[in-house]
Amino acid sequence: MALGKCMFQKIENGFPESALEISKIQYNKDVGLSILESYSRVLETLANMMISHIKDVLYANSLIVTSPDQYGDAMDF
């Protein structure tokens, strides 16, 4: 019974704040925001890589379209 009372008092009074919560309050920083910013940077890097690859493909295509005789029948599909 004493254990039940102790648990009830603990829940009733609330749990103490964790070190993370204290840090967020003290330094006004949010971990969730940091995670979103990191995710955003990763997505931006991937998008730039995709754009670079698309530009490379378009450049290679323009070389083939402008001078098809150079490659002969090997490029006919």
CA distances from 38 to 12, 30, 32, 44, 45 (A): 38, 13, 10, 10, 11
Report residue 42 as tokens: 């990763």
- pLDDT per residue as tens digits for the range 13-67: 666 667 777 777 667 667 777 788 888 999 999 999 999 999 999 999 998 888 7
What pLDDT sits at residue 66?
Answer: 81
Residue type for position 47: A
φ, ψ (nearest 5 deg) of residue 30: -120, 125
Report residue 11 as tokens: 């829940």
Flag whether pLDDT at 75 surpasses 60: no
Range from 7-11, 42-46, 68-72 that averages highest in pLDDT: 42-46
Q: Is 45 helix (H, G, I), strand (E, B) or coil?
A: helix
